[in-house]
């Protein structure tokens, strides 16, 4: 298989690529990673794979139709996995337009290029081709405390510009399957965590702020509930959907770990108290600081992943207890990776430099 992965230098994409190239007996002949290297794209996530002859990096945007068309033909791509997206809710509230540009317009252009390429393929390659779009549970909106978890049939009710942009892209993927017959697949996942997570997100932010003696910001009362999915479990699920999923279908992927944000923060503090104690031996919980809640903050997400378990036999291997311990250990062992991002990415952004 020749695979085109978009946004592969980001958090979930880089974990997927690592898993696919490092797995014994991988069927990949070539994996092309197309990434625009905006602020959350980090080539260091995949630096140790640079010498793998199967791996090709292409610097560019999914909205560049000329580039995408060339990559598809040149590398005789058999499947596209689209991770490329702007994904931070707070940033979407501050500035929605980049989210529309990448998540909606970019996905539309990528779909169009994939459709034109797919139509040019001879059989049986045409029938075997797949376009897998990676999306989020945020398209479904917010759940009441006692409501049933999101299924694939749940209405879309996005509540942030980010969620709205992802909902729009999901609809475009569906339209290209229904209208043109392009063999598409969509996955909607819950909150991911694990290695290589960009430091502005909750879990890595809490770990790194704690170690640096900074406040641990908690929105509102901290009782917002999320379903936490270890990123390596998610990567396995994506691969299963790509190989065995039914074209035209959506698969929800969840970690089966619903937990309030404040409990996430306290759990991390407890692990750090044991693994890397403060100099004064006080608990890291002393650094927790409640801050003004995010506008329109959804109270609860929860994923019903019965469909992917039933059809493809997938279930998460990591409990939250094992996954968060592995995550804390990774960040303790990779302080330099995080420090480099903090120094270079945010500095470039403050100067108005893209990427």
Mean pLDDT calculated for residue range 80-108: 91
48 is annotated as an active-site residue:
no
Mean pLDDT calculated for residue range 9-25: 94
Position 25 scores a pLDDT of 83
Mean pLDDT calculated for residue range 205-211: 96
Position 316 scores a pLDDT of 97
Position 345 scores a pLDDT of 55
- DSSP H helices, the chain, are 11-22, 65-74, 89-94, 97-99, 107-120, 125-128, 161-180, 202-211, 231-244, 261-275, 306-312, 320-333, 335-350
Position 347 scores a pLDDT of 47
Position 300 scores a pLDDT of 93
Position 344 scores a pLDDT of 61
146 is annotated as an active-site residue:
no
Architecture of domain 2-193+231-254+299-317+344-350: 3-Layer(aba) Sandwich (3.40)
Give the model confidence (pLDDT) of 220-263 as tens digits.
999 999 999 999 999 999 999 999 999 999 999 999 999 999 99
Give the model confidence (pLDDT) of 65-78 as tens digits.
999 999 999 999 99
Q: Is 330 exposed, middle or buried (0-12, 13-18, 19+ CB in 10 A)?
A: middle
Mean pLDDT calculated for residue range 22-47: 91
Instruction: Tally Cβ neighbours within 10 Å of residue 306.
Output: 13
Distance CA 201, CA 329 (A): 17
Active-site residue, selected from the candidate residues 138, 170, 227, 298: 138
Mean pLDDT calculated for residue range 300-312: 96
Give the model confidence (pLDDT) of 131-144 as tens digits.
999 999 999 999 99
Active-site residue, selected from the candidate residues 55, 162, 284, 301: 162
Distance CA 20, CA 92 (A): 31
Position 88 scores a pLDDT of 75
Position 169 scores a pLDDT of 98
> Would you list the domain boundaries of the chain?
2-193+231-254+299-317+344-350
Distance CA 232, CA 15 (A): 7
pLDDT at 30 over 50: yes
What is the pLDDT confidence band of residue 346, given thresholds at 50, 70 and 90?
A: low
Mean pLDDT calculated for residue range 103-116: 98
Asked whether 39 and 349 are in contact (CB, 8 A), the reply is yes
Residue 18: closest CA among 321, 231, 323: 231
Give the model confidence (pLDDT) of 52-66 as tens digits.
999 999 999 999 999
What is the pLDDT confidence band of residue 26, given thresholds at 50, 70 and 90?
A: confident
Position 90 scores a pLDDT of 80
Active-site residue, selected from the candidate residues 61, 64, 137, 232: 137
Q: Which residues contact 281 (CB under 8 A, 6 or more apart)?
A: none
162 is annotated as an active-site residue:
yes
Distance CA 309, CA 13 (A): 22
On average, the pLDDT of the chain sits at 93
pLDDT at 353 over 50: no
Give the model confidence (pLDDT) of 257-304 as tens digits.
999 999 999 999 999 999 999 999 999 999 999 999 888 788 999 999
DSSP-derived secondary structure for 99-129: HIIIIIIIHHHHHHHHHHHHHHPPTTHHHH-
């Amino acid at each position: 298989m020749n695979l085109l992965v978009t946004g592969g230098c980001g958090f979930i994409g880089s974990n997927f690529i690592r898993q696919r190239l490092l797995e014994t007996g991988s069927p990949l002949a070539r994996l092309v990673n197309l990434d625009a290297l905006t602020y959350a794209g980090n080539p260091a996530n995949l630096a140790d794979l640079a010498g793998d002859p199967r791996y090709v990096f292409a610097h560019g945007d999914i909205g560049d139709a000329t580039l995408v068309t060339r990559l598809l033909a040149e590398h005789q791509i058999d499947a596209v996995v689209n991770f490329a997206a702007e994904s931070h809710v707070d940033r979407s509230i501050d500035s929605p337009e980049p989210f529309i540009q990448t998540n909606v317009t970019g996905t539309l252009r990528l779909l169009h290029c994939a459709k034109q390429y797919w139509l040019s393929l001879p059989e049986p390659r045409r029938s075997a081709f797949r376009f897998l779009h990676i999306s989020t549970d945020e398209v479904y909106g917010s759940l009441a405390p006692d409501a049933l978890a999101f299924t694939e049939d749940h209405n879309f009710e996005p509540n942030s510009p980010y969620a709205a942009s992802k909902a729009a892209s999901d609809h475009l993927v569906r339209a290209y399957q229904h209208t043109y017959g392009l063999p598409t697949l969509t996955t909607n996942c819950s909150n991911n965590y694990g290695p290589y997570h960009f430091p502005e997100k909750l879990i890595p932010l809490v770990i790194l702020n704690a170690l640096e003696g900074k406040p641990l910001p908690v929105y509102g009362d901290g009782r917002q509930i999320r379903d936490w999915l270890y990123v390596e479990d998610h990567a396995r699920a994506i691969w299963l959907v790509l190989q065995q999923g039914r074209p035209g279908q959506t698969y929800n992927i969840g970690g089966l770990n619903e937990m309030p944000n404040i409990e996430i923060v306290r759990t991390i503090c407890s692990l750090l108290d044991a693994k890397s104690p403060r100099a004064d031996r006080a608990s890291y919980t002393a650094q927790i600081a409640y801050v003004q809640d995010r506008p329109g903050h959804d109270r609860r997400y929860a994923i019903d992943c019965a469909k992917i378990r039933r059809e493809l036999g997938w279930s998460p291997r990591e409990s939250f207890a094992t996954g968060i311990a592995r995550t804390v250990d990774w960040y303790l062992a990779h302080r330099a990776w995080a420090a480099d991002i903090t120094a270079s990415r945010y500095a470039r952004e403050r100067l108005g430099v893209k990427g």
